[in-house]
Structure formats: structure tokens, C-alpha cells
Amino acid sequence: MGWDFETDPDFQAELDWMAAFVREKVEPLDHVLDNPYDVTNPRNIRLVRPLQQQVRDRGLWACHLGPELGGKGFGQVKLALMNEILGRSKFGSVVFGCQAPDTGNAEILAHYGTPEQKDRFLKPLLENEIVSCFSITEPQGGADPTLFTTKAVETDGEWVIDGEKWFASNASCAAFFIVMAVTDPDAPRHERMSMFIIPAGTPGLEIVRDVGHVGEKVPMHAYLRFNGVRVPAGNMLGKRGQAFAVAQTRLGGGRIHHAMRTLGEARKAFEMMCERVVSRQTRDGLLAEKQTVQEKIADSWTELEQFRLLVLRTAWLIDKYQDYRMVRKDIAAVKAAMPRVLHDVASRALHLHGSLGVSHEMPFMDQIAMSYVLGLADGPTEVHKVTVARQILRDVVPSTDLFPAYHIPRLEAEARALVGEA
Ligand SMILES: Cc1cc2nc3c(=O)[nH]c(=O)nc-3n(C[C@H](O)[C@H](O)[C@H](O)COP(=O)(O)OP(=O)(O)OC[C@H]3O[C@@H](n4cnc5c(N)ncnc54)[C@H](O)[C@@H]3O)c2cc1C
């Protein structure tokens, strides 16, 4: 009977160290720096690098990696617990060397990269000497990748890429781009595209503009244009026509880490809400003494704990099966539930802070905006709910009778037959 909700004491000691370190040293960076991915910015170098060194010294650098890449091979449950702490700060994951999308990009480079690709792109990425961009979404369609039209044509031993991409995060800081392009338009739908690595500065690669969203200090998501961008044949990542398989490799673990970071953010809002209601006086007592306020506290705590258990159980399943395909439904459920938890908890926190809550002096509006972002990035909530429902219904046996198998008159007749009319 292996069913345990406790963290073993040794690892708990690491989590406690992390919690104090993030609160005292990393969270302050959110107030003085702009972009965690701007690795060449002198202010980032001065303030972030020494903290990264402390994390390395503690043996907690890039813990998402397996031992073959210099990581600890912690597995997803431990990573989930760590990410819950890192989610409190925009700089948390960069300081610990496990920031998206670089983690996912490293995952696919490690899995599909040639020795040359690993040497040139993976090694410096793992050290956070450079950052990367994963670009698949196009202006005319994001949720449905079969609508992508950016194409790569083989010419004289090179690939020539033409088209447009949209909302490519961190493009302006990235040293290389992983880009999905149509190489085989006549192949079956999921075998038409291949993945390419394009180094920054390759002629023809144009950043039309950086697009920002509410809650971001600087616009970070690029509208990209590829004007006859040429890359050598060796820059294909994975096999020709395999782009979907490559993309899937990076998404599963990434979504669980994202979910735990989101939980960390939502818990921060919850803690603020709790502090406020036990501090703020109204009429004949504290806000905390009003039952409708207590309901908001109770609902928020329950939603946070429910979500946390779903994420941890999913992380545990990933560790158990070591195959994302076996946990697709669970990961999709986590992805679909994540925006709502942040939205609801942050909204209650905002409301209980009154005018202060809607002001620029509190983070709640940004957190609510972030909840909408989370419902889009890595695919819209609806698409993930479809995955959950399809996977559940796949194994349900239809009734061949006019009335359902659970129709009460039928159940009564069956029960009578079982126990006898008496
Ligand atoms: C902050 C942020 C960062 C991002 N970073 C990256 C990145 O680094 N690289 C990258 O390639 N992309 C990135 N994206 C893009 C992201 O993957 C897309 O926004 C997402 O896939 C949705 O595509 P879309 O925006 O084109 O919306 P659309 O495809 O136009 O969908 C719009 C809406 O239509 C509805 N809808 C769509 N399909 C269905 C369906 N099947 N069933 C029911 N309703 C549906 C949903 O309500 C959905 O929100 C990022 C997005 C955000 C917000």
C-alpha cells in the first residue's frame, strides 16, 4: 500500500531552504529588473548570476535534467514541489536554471538533437549562457497546428524557409529558434511538418515587432517573418515529417511545471487575502469575522488544495509510467484547471482589498490577466478539455438497449431476480 502525502525530511529541508531563498533573495528582483530572459543585460548579469551560483553550490541547478545532462534526475513530483516555490517570483525559474521555454527546448534537443546540435545549442542553453525561442503559432491559426503554412523547401542541400510566426516568446533575446515548418504538404496531416533550428541573426529572419500583454513590463512575444531564411540540412531537429512528435516531447513535463508555478502565484494571492482580512476593520469588527468573507477564504483554500493534489498525482503518474502518452488525460486536465484556480483566487483577493486591490499598487489585476494568458499559452482550455473528455469516453461501453443499463426499473428487476421475489 504505497500512498503517502508526506515529503521525506531530507528533501523537505531543501524545499525549506528554497522557500527562504526565493522569498528573501529572488522575489526582490521582480521589483528592480524587467526581463528574466535578458541574459546579456548588465543589470541582470550583476544581480542574477550570483544567485544562480548559490543555487549551483546548493546542488539545485537545472533539476529538471536527468543525470546524463548534469541534473539530479529528481522526477516530476520533486520538480512539482520545487516549482510551487519558484512560481512566487518571475525570476524564480531563471535563478534555478529551469525556465520555460528553455527547459522544453533542452528536452527536445537532448532527445532528438545530433551531437553537433547538442554541442552548439544545448550546452550553453543548460548553463543559461543563452536563451531560446520555440515558435510554432502562426498569425492565421494557433490552436490548430494543421493550419500552419510556413514552409521549408529543400534547395542545394539547404532548407529555405518562408512564412510568418506569431507570439514567439523571448525571440528578441533568443540565440536560436526552434521552428515548425511544412516540408511535405502532400503527406498525411500529422506528417507534413518538420522542426528546424534557426540561429538568431540568420539573414532573412525578421522580428516584425514584439507584442506585449497586460502584466508584462516589456513586450516579449514576437511577430516573426521568414524571408527566404536558409539553414543547412543539419539544422533539422528530429526526422523529416516528425515535428508533431518532437513538439509533444516537450509539452507534457512543461505543463506540470507551469501548473505548480501557477499554484505558487495563486497561493501568494491567497496569503495576501488572509493577511488583509485579519487586519482590516469594518463596522463592528474585522473583515475576517464576516461569513461571506470566510466563504471566500474557505473556497480559495479548497480550490488550491484540490488543484495541488491533481497536479501532484499527475506528476506521480508521469514518474510511474515514464511515458507522457499514458498521462495525456491527466496533463490536459491540469492544463484546463490551471487558469481558473489563479483567476478565482486572485479575483477574491482583489475584491477583498477594495480600491487598493484594483490599483497598480497590488498585483491582482496582473494575476487575473495572467490567468487568461494561461488559458491560451500551450493551447486554449477548450482544446485540453476535449482531450480529457475523449480519453474518458474512449473506454465507456455504449448501451445497446432502449433504456440505459442503470435504468431503475431494470436494476429493480435484476435485484429481485438476484434475491428472489420474497
Ligand atoms: C503569453 C503567451 C505566450 C505564448 N508563447 C508562445 C511561444 O513561445 N511559441 C508559440 O509558438 N506560441 C506561443 N503562444 C501562442 C499560443 O500557443 C496560442 O495563443 C494558442 O495556441 C492559441 O492560438 P491562437 O492565439 O491563435 O488562438 P485561436 O486558435 O484563434 O483560438 C482562439 C479561441 O478560439 C477558441 N477555440 C480554438 N480552438 C477551439 C476548439 N478546438 N474548440 C473550442 N474552442 C476553440 C478558444 O476559445 C480559443 O481561445 C503564446 C501565447 C501566449 C498568450
pLDDT of amino acid 78: 94
Judge if the beta carbon of residue 377 lies within 6 A of ligand 1: yes
Give the CB-side neighbour count of residue 247, counting CA atoms within 13 A. 22
244-247 own/partner pairs: CB under 8 Å, 24+ apart:
244/145, 244/190, 244/191, 244/193, 246/108, 246/111, 246/112, 246/195, 247/108, 247/136, 247/145, 247/180, 247/195
Task: Using the predicted structure, report yes or no on whether residue 403 has a pLDDT greater than 90.
Answer: yes
Angle CA 99–69–220, to nearest 5:
20
Task: Using the predicted structure, report yes or no on whether residue 201 has a pLDDT greater than 90.
Answer: yes
Judge if the beta carbon of residue 134 lies within 6 A of ligand 1: yes
Give pTM, 2 decimals: 0.93
Hey, whose CA ends up nearest to atom 52 of ligand 1?
377
Judge if the beta carbon of residue 371 lies within 6 A of ligand 1: no
- Mean pLDDT for 297-309 is 98
- Mean pLDDT for 269-277 is 98
- Domains with residue ranges and CATH for the chain: 9-99 (no CATH), 132-237 (2.40.110.10), 254-394 (1.20.140.10)
Q: How far is CA 333 from the centre of its chain?
A: 13
Which residues, listed in sequence order, are joined to residue 223 by a DSSP beta bridge?
A: 209
Judge if the beta carbon of residue 376 lies within 6 A of ligand 1: yes
Share of the chain above pLDDT 90, in %: 88
Judge if the beta carbon of residue 380 lies within 6 A of ligand 1: yes
Collapsed DSSP state (helix, strand, coil) of residue 38 = coil
Reported as a single tens digit per residue, the pLDDT across 206-231 is: 999 999 998 888 999 999 999 999 99
Collapsed DSSP state (helix, strand, coil) of residue 29 = helix
Residue whose entry in the numeric block shows the C-alpha cell 527566404: 228
Task: Using the predicted structure, report yes or no on whether residue 297 has a pLDDT greater than 80.
Answer: yes
* Distance (Å) from CA 376 to ligand 1 centroid: 5
Please tell me the distance from the alpha carbon of residue 255 to that of residue 80, in angstroms, as a whole number: 10
Sequence-ordered alpha helix ranges (H) in 22-65: 29-32, 42-58
* Distance (Å) from CA 136 to ligand 1 centroid: 11
* C-alpha cell recorded at residue 326: 499514458
Pick the atom of ligand 1 nearest to 136's CA. 11
Hey, whose CA ends up nearest to atom 43 of ligand 1?
382
Judge if the beta carbon of residue 336 lies within 6 A of ligand 1: no
Residue from 167, 180, 371 to probe ligand 1 pocket by mutation (most atoms less than 8 Å from CB): 167
Neighbours of 267 (CB within 10 A): 21
pLDDT of amino acid 422: 59
* Amino acid making up residue 334: V
pLDDT of amino acid 269: 98
* For the ranges 57-66, 102-111, 160-169, the one whose mean pLDDT is highest: 160-169
Hey, whose CA ends up nearest to atom 37 of ligand 1?
143
pLDDT of amino acid 161: 98
Q: How far is CA 314 from the centre of its chain?
A: 14
